[in-house]
């Protein structure tokens, strides 16, 4: 049998669908596709609301409060405004690439949610390589960003896209290394099983891993202080300078959907996902995701932006070596004391993490960054 036939006859996800799901694979698939799209859109609206109101509060102002009660309909108004704008394509643009870029950027973000468990077993596909899949899929967005930068025929866009490629290539490695720490402790690549294994949230078992993952995730999705791709004060709007109307709305959606996706991944990997007392599991999941997102809004509000060479320096001189050490320490602990309660790891890892970060931040100096011309 040819390989293609195998792939068609038994979709990978079908093999891992929970056995008790009524109606078989296709109903399951349809239900979760709709749920995921609705979830992403609603969460993005919530995220926009939290960001605009939260930033407003932190910046000594009210934030939008005119549309609906407490300004709750502001995201709707935003979306309508953007959608009704004229679609402008610059004459120097590479038309097809310019048109395709928002789609290429948006699709992978939706794909991430395919493997994230909303509650126990409630996910589109319980891939046994779930976390690997996320790492692979989430990087595809960068292609969309680079297409936007190249296809716009604008130097600002190109500079922004170059920065995005540089950031993603650098931060992908510490991101994966931080994940491997979690995988070693939980003993699985499947996100559902990782959550099931978290009797203690891994933010405690892997505090350093969490910190490094958070930094790397922020850099991957271009959240401040690593928002060099957009860098409104430097590159006007970076890669989406030339976008308007619906296509800009897509990029706007990608920005927040990526942030929500990364918050969901952080929730799943480090904050014990849907697990929690009293409230229903899916509500726990959403609450934790929004809390992580709020931390992102918080950092965005209070921190200035780093420079491109400082961004790379942080990746290679700070995050990457610490992630390696963290990986080594975690692996050693698991091998040497396989049967010890994880609470010992919690204490040891918090101490090790704090000492490492303290010492390394003494050693690490951001470079000067000037080049003789």
236 belongs to the binding site for other proteins (CB under 8 A): yes
CB of 14 or CB of 357, closer to other proteins: 357
Distance CA 364, CA 322 (A): 11
Distance CA 369, CA 309 (A): 7
Which among 177-185, 196-204, 226-234, 279-287 is the span making contact with other proteins, rule CB under 8 A? 226-234
300 belongs to the binding site for other proteins (CB under 8 A): yes
- 146 contacts 158 by C-beta, under 8 angstroms: no
Q: How far is the CB of 263 from other proteins (least distance, A)?
A: 19
155 belongs to the binding site for other proteins (CB under 8 A): yes
CB of 10 or CB of 361, closer to other proteins: 361
Q: Which residues contact 32 (CB under 8 A, 6 or more apart)?
A: 114, 123, 124
- DSSP codes, 64-113: S-SSSGGGTTHHHHHHHHHHTS-----TTS-HHHHHHHHHHHHHHHHHHG
Angstrom distances, CA of residue 208 to CA of 138, 179, 353 = 22, 11, 5
Angstrom distances, CA of residue 317 to CA of 170, 172, 229, 354 = 11, 14, 21, 17
Tokens of 18: 């929970």
52 belongs to the binding site for other proteins (CB under 8 A): no
Distance CA 174, CA 150 (A): 27
For residues 240 to 269, the per-residue mask of contacts with other proteins, x marking binding by CB under 8 A and - elsewhere, is ------------------------------
CB of 153 or CB of 201, closer to other proteins: 153
Place of tokens 């799943």: 268
231 belongs to the binding site for other proteins (CB under 8 A): yes
Q: How many residues bind other proteins (CB under 8 A)?
A: 38
302 belongs to the binding site for other proteins (CB under 8 A): yes
Place of tokens 């991430």: 112
Applying CB under 8 A, which of residues 65, 67, 139, 310 lies at the interface with other proteins?
A: 310
Nearest to 308, CA basis, from 222, 205, 204, 188:
222
Applying CB under 8 A, which of residues 15, 59, 87, 92 lies at the interface with other proteins?
A: 59
Q: How far is the CB of 234 from other proteins (least distance, A)?
A: 5
Q: How far is the CB of 166 from other proteins (least distance, A)?
A: 9
Angstrom distances, CA of residue 9 to CA of 2, 3, 16, 30 = 11, 10, 14, 18
Applying CB under 8 A, which of residues 108, 207, 225, 353 lies at the interface with other proteins?
A: 225
Q: What is the DSSP letter of 122?
A: B
357 belongs to the binding site for other proteins (CB under 8 A): no
Which among 57-65, 136-144, 193-201, 336-344 is the span making contact with other proteins, rule CB under 8 A? 57-65
228 belongs to the binding site for other proteins (CB under 8 A): yes
Q: What is the DSSP letter of 367?
A: -
- 193 contacts 183 by C-beta, under 8 angstroms: no
CB of 199 or CB of 232, closer to other proteins: 232
Q: How far is the CB of 178 from other proteins (least distance, A)?
A: 21
- Residues of the shown chain interacting with other proteins in the complex, contacts defined by CB under 8 A: 55, 58-61, 155-156, 159, 162-163, 224-225, 227-228, 231-236, 300-310, 366, 368-373
């Amino acid at each position: 049998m040819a390989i293609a036939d195998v792939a068609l006859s038994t979709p990978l996800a079908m093999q891992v669908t929970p056995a008790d799901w009524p109606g078989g694979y296709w109903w399951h698939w349809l239900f979760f596709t709709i749920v995921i799209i609705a979830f992403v859109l609603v969460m993005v609206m919530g995220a926009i609301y939290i960001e605009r109101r939260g930033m407003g509060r932190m910046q000594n102002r009210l934030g939008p409060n005119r549309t609906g009660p407490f300004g709750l309909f502001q995201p709707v108004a935003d979306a309508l405004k953007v959608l009704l704008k004229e679609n402008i394509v610059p004459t120097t643009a590479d038309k097809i690439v310019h048109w395709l870029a928002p789609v290429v950027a948006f699709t992978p973000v939706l794909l991430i949610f395919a493997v994230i468990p909303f509650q126990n077993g409630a996910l589109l596909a319980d891939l046994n390589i779930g976390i690997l899949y996320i790492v692979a899929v989430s990087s595809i967005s960068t292609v969309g960003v680079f297409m936007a930068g190249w296809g716009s025929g604008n130097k600002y866009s190109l500079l922004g896209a170059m920065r995005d490629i540089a950031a993603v290539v650098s931060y992908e490695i510490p991101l994966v290394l931080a994940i491997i720490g979690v995988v070693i402790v939980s003993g699985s690549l499947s996100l559902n099983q990782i959550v099931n294994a978290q009797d203690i949230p891994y933010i405690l078992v892997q505090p350093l891993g969490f910190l490094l993952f958070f930094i790397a995730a922020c850099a991957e999705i271009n959240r401040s202080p690593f928002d060099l791709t957009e860098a409104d004060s430097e590159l006007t709007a970076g890669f989406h300078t030339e976008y308007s109307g619906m296509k800009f709305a897509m990029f706007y959606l990608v920005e927040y959907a990526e942030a929500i996706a990364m918050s969901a991944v952080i929730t799943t990997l480090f904050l014990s996902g849907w697990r929690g007392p009293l409230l229903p599991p899916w509500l726990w999941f959403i609450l934790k995701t929004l809390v992580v997102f709020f931390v992102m809004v918080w950092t965005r509000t209070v921190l200035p932006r780093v420079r491109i060479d400082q961004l790379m320096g942080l990746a290679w001189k700070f995050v990457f070596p610490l992630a390696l050490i963290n990986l080594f320490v975690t692996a050693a602990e698991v091998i040497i004391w396989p049967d010890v309660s994880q609470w010992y790891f919690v204490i040891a890892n918090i101490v090790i993490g704090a000492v490492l970060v303290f010492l390394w931040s003494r050693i690490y100096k951001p470079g000067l960054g000037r080049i003789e011309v």
